[in-house]
Structure 1
Amino acid sequence: MKPLLASLTLCLAALASAAEPFLEKQNLFTVGDDPAYNIYHIPGIVVTAKGTVLAWCEARKGGGDWSDIRILLRRSTDDGKTWSAPQSIADVPGPKQKNPFALRLKNVDTTQVTYNNPVLIADKDGTVHMLFCLEYERAFYQRSTDDGLTWSKPVEITATFDTFKKHYDWKVLATGPNHSIQLNNGRLVVPVWLSTGEGGNAHRPSVTATIYSDDQGKSWHAGDIAVPCTDEWINPNETVAIQLNDGRVMLNVRSESKAHRRLVVTSPDGATNWSTPKFDEALLEPICMAGIVRYDHGGQSLILFSNPHNLEGGREGQPEPGKSRARKNVSVKLSRDEGQTWPVSKVLEPGPSMYSDIAVTHAGTILCFYGSSARPGFAGSSLTLARFNLEWLQEK
């Protein structure tokens, strides 16, 4: 009886210690909070080596990608519960000019300055690396050694992208967006997309690649084109990255392909020898940014993925002709086999919901930072932070 009682006691203790599912939401940026900005878009989130949560976005004085845009950051030192006031963190001194390909578009104000596509990486040594673009034409790197309180002077790294011109004569460039990754060997990897600027919004056609640094951001190098633009893989662009447990780097890629699914491609080093791109049938593609992150807690090593899980109308997941793929139904998925299957999928925001990024705190709290609104649109009226645990995600 004693062994039986001991086993029963252990089982009861395990049940008692099991965490209760929870989900909490708060808006970190809302239109109207600051009269200077009428759109908050492109959310990103990362947890530093010291445990500070950094959440950032593009704050726009206008609606379009080429409008007056600043990059704002908020910080949390208590697992994402409370937050500092927004801080502008990207500033390039000196004269600036609009990308010539933007001037081909209607209603582009040549006096407005566009800072775009911020990417942050949490280094294992405590450094926070940041890349951003200016006018979709120039790229910059800066760093913080105090968890985002202050930042170094930005250094231009546009020359890194010139290597791509041997293979793709880009006129428009963009990093990320969202957070990116440091590999186990210390390499920093940042997905990028490049466009010849001849198509819609001067962002199409496009291809996806990566740039990388092996010296903690001091120098940057161009990798290979990971996903070209073809009749099958149409306009690959905004891309997120994760390192798999076998060491490979997997990119999860937005595109405008007719399959209406996310594209996936892998590389042994995050820069070269990319596999043939494949569509992931489980991950719908409403043409919207997504988030991906590893959950490594409690003896579990999982991959979490977030995006609007929606293809409006149609049968068997295919949109009806002429129907738009509405940005709504942001959901979080879980994979236990390194992204091969996604058996868990839970709706986080059933209404209009847009771009998202996802992170995990040192305590194991999952943070999904996403656009939300009462009305459909490309961007929400708020950028919302959802805090929840694995128990909530797996609760049926």
Structure 2
Amino acid sequence: MKSLFLLLTVLFSFGLFGQEKLVLQNLFDATLSEEVSCYRIPALTTAPNGDLLAAIDERVASCSDLGTNPNINIVLRRSTDHGKTWSEIEKVADFPEGQSASDPSFIVDMQTKNILLFYNYMNVNEEKGVYYFHVMKSNDNGKSWSAPQDITSQISEKDWSRDFKFITSGRGIQRRSGQLLHTLVNLEHGLHLFGSDDHGKTFFVRDKPLLPGDESKVVERADGSLMVNSRVNSGGMRYAHFSGKNEATWHAEPQPELIDPSCNASMIRYTEKADGFSKNRILFSNAKNNRERKNMTVRISYDEGQSWGEGKTIYQGLAAYSTMTILENGNIGLLFEGDGYTKNYFTQFSLEWLTDGKDRLNKHSKKKY
């Protein structure tokens, strides 16, 4: 009996399949600062050297969005030990009072080993309602950043100057060809893809809008086509946009199984057979509820986004925007807004934990994990 009791104690302490219980780390908490109103809109990525970078809005004047807030900075924390510990908060984009930067997102260029950090900018005092797009670059795994580059004229039209437009927060992708690709939203003219064919020296925007669509994420499918998963502001579910192989044609499909309270979500490629993995896998995280921002859940698609499993609840309480990355060891990293925008939780878990032991990584891939 004693040995059985000890065995059960070990199982419950470490969880099923020899893994520790889910640990939530609150990386950004405005209640700990007298100067910050709230931290919102997280972005998360894995640097080429394996470091984790977590960026977010530091909203000083109030918790309101870019259009009316005269003091929002982009701040960042780093982990050099796979998410066990994190650095102090450092400012990455910090403009004078009256100018704000918001909605960070990353693309890691694995060919050049550079990291691109995008955000939306506004001079609230002098050009209130006029949105600009900026990018900063790092060639040292996010330890230092270039001066901001204004790419607004490259990825938007002249008649968009006073439209409500923004680059989606979270992250974009690098395709197998090396092309960088991301999403931006113009609430007057629709969802658009933008990117770069020369590693961020210049940028383009696709003129064909995808509708319906708000904040969105894009992945390259195994056959080279694209899938964009979109927030919409009615109906309580997500929409998916699928391209043909040459992107000349697109079609939109409602995804009623992906219930959603009209909130930004995350979607990333996890594994692909072309890299030596046994299965194609795409991950999706959102607040799994059709009315309220709560119940943060992560799901898997094994058929390139045509269908999704029920997923596993990560956090039952209030939860909103989320962003994911893959750690060097193959764990899935998740950063999400929680508890009514007062906390921003980071956690990580394995594929085996996520699937209750039904799926696991094979060990013959070309990637580190």
TM norm structure 2: 0.82
Aligned counterpart, 1:134: 121
DSSP 3-state at the match of 1:89: strand
Q: Distance in 2 between matches of 1:112 and 1:349?
A: 36
Aligned counterpart, 2:283: 304
Q: Distance in 2 between matches of 1:185 and 1:262?
A: 28
DSSP 3-state at the match of 2:27: strand
**1:368 is aligned to 2:334:** yes
The amino acid across from 2:346 in the alignment is L
> Cα–Cα, structure 1 residues 180 and 150, in superposed 2: closer, same or farther, change >3 Å?
same
Unmatched segments (≥5 aa) in structure 1? 1-17, 94-110, 197-205, 312-324
Unmatched segments (≥5 aa) in structure 2? 1-16, 123-129, 358-369
Q: Post-superposition shift, 1:244? A: 1.0
Q: Post-superposition shift, 1:49? A: 2.1
Q: How many residue pairs align between the two structures?
A: 325
Q: Distance in 1 between matches of 2:20 and 2:282?
A: 19
**1:329 is aligned to 2:295:** yes
Q: Post-superposition shift, 1:195? A: 3.0
Q: Post-superposition shift, 1:209? A: 0.5
1:95-114 superposed matches below 5 A: 112-114=98-100
Aligned counterpart, 1:151: 145
Aligned counterpart, 2:216: 239
Q: Is contact 1:333-1:343 (8 Å) kept?
A: yes
**1:34 is aligned to 2:13:** no
1:120-131 superposed matches below 5 A: 120-124=106-110, 125-131=112-118
1:249 to 208, 223, 226: 226
Q: Is contact 1:329-1:350 (8 Å) kept?
A: yes
Q: Distance in 2 between matches of 1:390 and 1:164?
A: 45
1:313-392 superposed matches below 5 A: 325-373=291-339, 377=340, 380-392=341-353
Q: Is contact 1:224-1:273 (8 Å) kept?
A: no
Q: Distance in 1 between matches of 2:187 and 2:307?
A: 32
Aligned counterpart, 1:64: 64
Aligned counterpart, 2:253: 278
Q: Is contact 2:268-2:324 (8 Å) kept?
A: yes
DSSP 3-state at the match of 2:270: strand
> Cα–Cα, structure 1 residues 329 and 289, in superposed 2: closer, same or farther, change >3 Å?
same
Q: Distance in 2 between matches of 1:343 and 1:82?
A: 32
Q: Post-superposition shift, 1:240? A: 1.0
Aligned counterpart, 1:47: 46
> Cα–Cα, structure 1 residues 163 and 296, in superposed 2: closer, same or farther, change >3 Å?
same
Q: Distance in 1 between matches of 2:48 and 2:271?
A: 14
Q: Post-superposition shift, 1:263? A: 1.0
Q: Distance in 2 between matches of 1:209 and 1:83?
A: 35
Per-residue CA deviation, residues 290-347 of structure 1 (Å, 9 max, x unaligned), is: 0111222864431110000002xxxxxxxxxxxxx21100100011111112124111
Q: Post-superposition shift, 1:21? A: 6.2
> Cα–Cα, structure 1 residues 267 and 331, in superposed 2: closer, same or farther, change >3 Å?
same
**1:116 is aligned to 2:102:** yes
Q: Percent identity?
A: 29
Q: Is contact 1:52-1:76 (8 Å) kept?
A: yes
> Cα–Cα, structure 1 residues 187 and 195, in superposed 2: closer, same or farther, change >3 Å?
same
Aligned counterpart, 1:7: none
Q: Post-superposition shift, 1:142? A: 1.6
Per-residue CA deviation, residues 167-203 of structure 1 (Å, 9 max, x unaligned), is: x67622211110110111011111000134xxxxxxx
DSSP 3-state at the match of 1:23: coil
Cα root mean square deviation, aligned: 2.1
Q: Is contact 1:118-1:178 (8 Å) kept?
A: yes
Q: Post-superposition shift, 1:91? A: 4.2
Aligned counterpart, 1:188: 180
> Cα–Cα, structure 1 residues 162 and 291, in superposed 2: closer, same or farther, change >3 Å?
closer
The amino acid across from 2:319 in the alignment is S
Q: Distance in 1 between matches of 2:44 and 2:278?
A: 24
TM norm structure 1: 0.77
Aligned counterpart, 2:362: none
Aligned counterpart, 1:85: 88
Aligned counterpart, 1:225: 208
> Cα–Cα, structure 1 residues 42 and 222, in superposed 2: closer, same or farther, change >3 Å?
same
The amino acid across from 2:136 in the alignment is Q
> Cα–Cα, structure 1 residues 149 and 169, in superposed 2: closer, same or farther, change >3 Å?
closer
Q: Distance in 2 between matches of 1:158 and 1:81?
A: 37
Q: Distance in 1 between matches of 2:91 and 2:46?
A: 19
- Misfit runs of 4+, over 4 Å: none
